[in-house]
Amino acid sequence: MSHIVFYIKLEPYLKQWLHNSLGNPVVFPPQSNENAVIRRFLRKRPPEVQPEMAEDELTAIVIPDSKAKPPQYYNYLGKKAKAAVKETIEDLFRANLWNEMSDLTKRDCGLNKTIAAWCEMHGIDDDYSETVRQKYYRMRTSYSRRGIFLGSLTRKHSDE
């Protein structure tokens, strides 16, 4: 069966992470929050709107099957609906990054090496490891500013 997709513009590291985790085109698990958001905002394509075409910078996402909204009829997401889907993808990425990195940062390996290895494991090019590191660092810092300390109390020194 061929899948009906819609296209969304994502940052390159998110696109790479999604393709590595969920395939190309992206297929979210059946009961996922992302599919719930997609189904909620799906509607019939307005007659004046042309179907979307694939482009290199766009990410293809499969429209989930639904008895209430069959994809062959309900296959349009407006600009704000796509923004909502993008937000759920960003939240999923942050949760994955945070959950996997929080245990790893308690080890003796430095944050830069740990983030680079995490990116490699998740199919993200080295060009974006600094972007991912900054995202992780900002999440950790925002908690710290509110008195919730999640990092190490000592600085690690090495001879490297």
Q: Is the pLDDT of residue 146 over 90?
A: no
Question: Residue 142: its pLDDT value, please?
Answer: 85
Are 43 and 36 in contact, with CB atoms under 8 Å apart? no
| Local structure of residue 23 (DSSP, 8 states) | T
Which residues contact residue 12 at a Cβ distance below 8 angstroms, ignoring those fewer than 6 apart?
A: 125, 127, 128
Q: pTM score, two decimals?
A: 0.86
Let me know if 31 is exposed, middle or buried by CB neighbors in 10 A (0-12, 13-18, 19+). exposed
Domain boundaries, the chain: 5-144
Mean pLDDT score, 93-105: 84
Compute how many other C-beta atoms are within 10 angstroms of the C-beta atom of residue 7: 17
Q: If we measure between CA atoms, which residue out of 158, 2, 5 comes closest to residue 77?
A: 5
CA atoms of 147 and 145, how far apart (whole Å) = 6
CA atoms of 91 and 54, how far apart (whole Å) = 25
Quote the crossing angle between the two packed helices 79-104 and 33-41, to the nearest 10°: 170
- Which segment of 12-21, 23-32, 93-102 scores lowest on mean pLDDT? 93-102
Are 5 and 25 in contact, with CB atoms under 8 Å apart? yes
Tens digits of per-residue pLDDT, 78-88? 999 999 999 99
